[in-house]
Structure 1
Amino acid sequence: MNLYKIGKALCSIIFYPMYRIKVIGKHNIPSKGPVIICANHISNIDPPVVGITSNRNIYFLAKEELFKNPIIGGILKKVHAFPIKRGMRDRNALRKGLGVLKEGHALGLFPEGSRQKNGEVGKGLAGAGFFALRSDAAIVPCAIIGPYKKFKSLKVVYGEPIDMSEYREEKASAQVVTDRIMEEIRQLHKIHQS
């Protein structure tokens, strides 16, 4: 059994009962082929929560600072995470992300780049749009509706894949595409908040 499966099993045992996780729309994640799961970001626990509620093994971009600790960095690499430099265009990370998609895997992104501690859906950075435009991946919006409080309900809602054909044909800007993705996340958040 690999470390990803072990980590997923352990996180499921801990987080499902602790946060009473309710998953909606998991069937919207294609079971095969490249997919980008774009979620809002409210906690450091978001990546494992998206990981355990998805039907796919997900490769995540993680801030470079986390990899400076050899133990944490080693674990992150074994659970399909790879580093990205924040605040600048990181060509290695972009190349790696596109490679993951080209191989038909799932890529997990938090387009806001940093946590929105108020629980609201913030503005996304252009990176999500870049990956959406440069690949043939299905784009699945995901709303994490918290807060993370012990024994209080946490919802993870996966929306229908967003049709990117028009944006790809028109060669829309990465930011325009990210804005559309964030709007879909915002709508899921609004509909399922109560």
Structure 2
Amino acid sequence: MIYRIGQFICRIVLSMVFFAKIEGKEHIPANGPVIICSNHKSNFDPPLLGSYIKRPLRFMAKEELFTSKWFGPLITKLGAFPVKRGTGDRGALRKGTQILRDNEVLLLFPEGNRSKTEEIEDGLAGAGYFALKSSATVIPAYIKGKYKPFRRVTAFYGPPVPLDDLRNEKASSQEVTDHIMTHIRMLRDDVEENNR
């Protein structure tokens, strides 16, 4: 209930302030485990990616955000779970894997941190780890635009990333992440080409 209310409020704010637009929602499977992997620009990214789709998103957030007596429980109900940044947080890895086993949707930002430029940086191995530890469909996403009042921001969802060959070849987590990042960049290039 709180999640749906949060979605509604975020849609209003994002639509009115940032003229938010979403394209490619049809690529997200209606059921089964899904990993959405996106470039990362702002703290507004999770609400943008989650507010306009039917399926609830689960996502990692730095553990410091959960120390507040009111904010921690709130973001937990909005789909967040804590991660210790800069470490191989086994608890967060187990939690993410369980989310996918429960056939939920896990949102990841493989770059790890918000990009200070418009470039899409290399991704960390975590995204590949979750892809290999599950049968999840991996959906690339690309966020275009800057979060400035009355300037449009658009989230694009692309077709699923083909992973069968890499899974069969027992590729490393980093190799799978690199493959996913290639598809995010391909989606960006398609978007930029179509908007010229």
- TM-score between both structures, scaled by the size of structure 1: 0.96
Task: Report the residue type matching 1:87 in the other structure.
Answer: G
Partner of 1:19: 18
Partner of 1:109: 108
- Secondary structure in 1 aligned to 2:175? helix
Q: CA deviation at 1:190?
A: 2.0
Q: Distance in 1 between matches of 2:127 and 2:102?
A: 18
Q: Distance in 2 between matches of 1:119 and 1:105?
A: 30
Give CA deviations for 1:75-105 in whole Å, capped at 9, x if unaligned.
1111121001111111111111111110110
Partner of 1:155: 154
Partner of 2:118: 119
Give ranges in structure 1 of 5+ residues lacking alignment.
Answer: none
Q: CA RMSD in A?
A: 1.0
Q: CA deviation at 1:54?
A: 2.6
Partner of 2:27: 28
Partner of 2:130: 131
Give CA deviations for 1:28-55 in whole Å, capped at 9, x if unaligned.
0001110000011000110111111333
2:124–2:174 Cα contact (<8 Å) kept: yes
Deviates more, 1:175-184 or 1:67-76: 67-76
Q: Distance in 2 between matches of 1:103 and 1:75?
A: 22
Q: Distance in 1 between matches of 2:126 and 2:3?
A: 25
Task: Report the residue type matching 1:192 in the other structure.
Answer: V
Partner of 1:98: 97
Partner of 1:37: 36
- Secondary structure in 2 aligned to 1:162? coil
Give CA deviations for 1:103-128 in whole Å, capped at 9, x if unaligned.
11000001111000212211111000
Task: Report the residue type matching 1:100 in the other structure.
Answer: I
Partner of 1:65: 64
Task: Describe how 1:51-62 pairs up with structure 2 within 5 A.
Answer: 51-62=50-61
Q: Distance in 1 between matches of 2:69 and 2:186?
A: 39
Task: Report the residue type matching 1:119 in the other structure.
Answer: E
1:35–1:137 Cα contact (<8 Å) kept: yes
Task: Report the residue type matching 1:171 in the other structure.
Answer: K
2:7–2:52 Cα contact (<8 Å) kept: no
Deviates more, 1:64-73 or 1:120-129: 64-73
2:139–2:159 Cα contact (<8 Å) kept: yes
Task: Report the residue type matching 2:89 in the other structure.
Answer: D
Percent of matched pairs sharing the same residue: 47
- TM-score between both structures, scaled by the size of structure 2: 0.95
Runs of 4+ in 1 over 3 A off after TM superposition: none
